[in-house]
Structure 1
Amino acid sequence: MALIQLDLPYADGAYWLTQVRHLPWPMLLESGRVDTVEKQSSVDEEVGLGARFDIVVADPVARIIHRRPYTEVHAHTVERDEEDPFAVIKRWLQPHKVARETDVPFAGGALGYFSYDLGRSIEPMPELAAQDMPLPELLVGIYDWAIVADHHLRRCQLVSHTRFIEPAALQGLHQQLMEKRDNPDVQPFTVYGDIAHNMDKSCYAQAFLKVKNYIRAGDCYQINLAQRLAVKVSGDAWQAYDRFRQLSKAPFMAYLQVDDGQGLPFEVLSMSPERFLQVTENKVETRPIKGTRPRHSDAELDRQEAEALASSIKDRAENLMIVDLLRNDIGKVCEIGSVKVDALFRLQRFTNVHHLVSIVRGVLANGYHALDLLRGCFPGGSITGAPKLRAMEIIEELEPHRRGIYCGSIGYIGFDGSMDTNIAIRTAVICNQTMTFYAGGGVVADSDCDREYQETLDKASQFLKLVAQFKAPS
Structure 2
Amino acid sequence: MRKKLTFTIPDIAQFKEALLQWGQQFEEMAWLDSNAHQNTYSSFDSVLAVDALTAIETDTQNAFEDLKIYQSNTKDWLFGYLSYDLKNDIEALTSTNFDGLHFPSLYFFQPKKIITIHKNRVTFNYLNMVDDEIENDLKDISEGNYLQSQQKQSKNIGIKLRIFKDEYFRQVEKMLEHIHRGDIYEANFCQEFYAENVGIDPQKTYQKLNSISRPPFATFLKLNDKYLLCASPERYLKKEANKIISQPIKGTAKRSVDLEEDRLLVTNLENDIKERAENVMIVDLVRNDLSKSALKGTVTVEELCKVYTFDQVHQMISTITATVPDNKNPVELIKETFPMGSMTGAPKVSAMKIIEELEASKRGLYSGAVGYFTPENDFDFNVVIRSILYNYTRKYLSFSVGSAITAKSVPEKEYDECLLKAKAMRQVLED
TM class, shorter-length: over 0.9
- Alpha carbons 2:22, 2:141 under 8 Å: kept: yes
Mark the CA change 1:184 to 1:343 in structure 2 (over 3 Å): closer, same or farther: closer
Question: Are the counterparts in 1 of residues 232 and 385 from structure 2 also a CA contact under 8 Å?
Answer: yes
Give the CA deviation at 1:95.
Answer: 4.8
- Sort the Cα spacing of 1:400 and 1:2 in 2 relative to 1 into closer, same or farther, 3 A: closer
CA distance in 2, matches of 1:325, 1:185: 43
1:441 to 391, 403, 406: 403
Q: How many Å separate the matches in 1 of 2:46 and 2:310?
A: 19
Asked if structure 1 preserves the Cα contact closer than 8 Å seen for 2:60 and 2:106, the reply is no
Partners of 1:127 and 1:95 in 2: CA distance: 30
SS of 1:220 mapped into structure 2: coil
Q: Classify the secondary structure of the residue corresponding to 1:148.
A: strand
Deviations 1:63-110 (A, max 9, x none): 1111233xxxxxxxxxxxxxx33333333443554xxxxxxxxxx511
- Does residue 255 (structure 1) correspond to residue 220 (structure 2)? The answer is yes
Distance 1:323 1:276 in 2: 12
**1:279 touches 1:418 (CA, 8 Å); kept in 2?**
yes
Match of 1:117 in 2: 85
The answer to whether 1:457 aligns with 2:419 is yes
> In 2, distance between residues paired with 1:47 and 1:206?
42
SS in 1 for 2:315: strand
Match of 1:403 among 349, 363, 367: 363
Letter in 2 for 1:420: D
Name the amino acid aligned to 2:53.
V
Aligned pair partner of 1:27 in 23, 26, 30: 30
Provide the C-alpha distance between the structure 1 equivalents of 2:202 and 2:227, rounded to a whole number of angstroms: 7
Residue 204 of structure 1 aligns with an amino acid whose one-letter code is Y
Give distance in 2, aligned partners of 1:127 and 1:55. 33
Alignment correspondent of 2:240: 280
1:52-201 mapped onto 2 (5 Å cutoff): 52-69=44-61, 84-95=62-73, 97=75, 109-151=77-119, 154-160=120-126, 162=127, 165=129, 167-168=131-132, 173-174=137-138, 176-177=140-141, 179-184=143-148, 186-201=150-165
CA RMSD of aligned residues (A): 2.1
| Matches of 1:458 and 1:268, distance apart in 2 | 20
SS of the residue aligned with 1:145?
Answer: strand
Q: Relative to structure 2, which stretch is displaced further, 443-452 or 127-136?
A: 127-136
SS of 1:157's partner is strand
Q: What is the number of equivalent residue pairs in this alignment?
A: 425
User: SS state of the match for residue 194, structure 2?
Assistant: strand
Alignment of 1:325-336 (within 5 A): 325-336=285-296
Work out whether residues 112 and 130 of structure 2, in 8 Å CA contact, stay in contact via their aligned partners in 1: no
> What whole-Å deviation, never above 9, does each CA across 1:356-380 have from its counterpart, x for those lacking one?
1000001122321221111111110
Please report the TM-score for the alignment, with normalisation by the length of structure 2: 0.93
- Structure 1 residue 175: Cα displacement: 5.5
8 Å CA contact 2:95, 2:362 repeated in 1: no
- Unaligned 5+ residue runs, structure 1? 35-44, 70-83, 98-107, 260-264, 470-474
- Distance in 2 of aligned mates of 1:382 and 1:358: 11
Please say if residues 198 and 400 of structure 1, whose CA atoms lie closer than 8 Å, have aligned partners that are also in contact. Answer: yes
Alignment of 1:9 onto 2:9: yes
Match of 2:208, SS state, is helix
Q: Which amino acid aligns with 1:460?
A: A
Structure with greater helix share of residues: 2
Summarize deviations over 1:158-180 as a string: whole Å, max 9, x none.
024x3x63543556655654552
CA distance in 2, matches of 1:115, 1:242: 23
Deviation at 1:143, TM superposition (A): 1.9
Taking the aligned partners of 1:96 and 1:257, their CA distance within structure 2 comes to: 21
Q: Summarize the Cα distance change of 1:438–1:58 in structure 2 as closer, same or farther, 3 Å threshold.
A: same
Gaps of 5+ in 2: none
Which runs of 4 or more aligned residues in structure 1 lie more than 6 Å from their structure 2 counterparts after TM superposition? none
Q: Would you say the 8 A contact 1:279–1:419 is kept in 2?
A: yes
**Letter matched to residue 202 of structure 2:** A
Between the aligned partners of 1:141 and 1:49, the Cα distance in structure 2 is 23
Q: Identify if the C-alpha distance between structure 1 residues 235 and 314 changes in structure 2 by more than 3 Å, giving closer, same or farther.
A: closer
Query: Which of these residues, 412, 416, 421, is aligned with residue 372 of structure 2?
Result: 412
Cα separation, 2, equivalents of 1:429 and 1:111: 17
* 2:395 aligned partner, one-letter code: Q
8 Å contact kept, 1:329–1:377: yes
Distance 1:156 1:183 in 2: 22
Rounded to whole Å, the distance in 2 between the matches of 1:32 and 1:243 is: 13
Instruction: Give the whole-Å Cα distance in 2 for the aligned partners of 1:63 and 1:321.
Output: 37
- SS of the equivalent of 1:130 reads coil
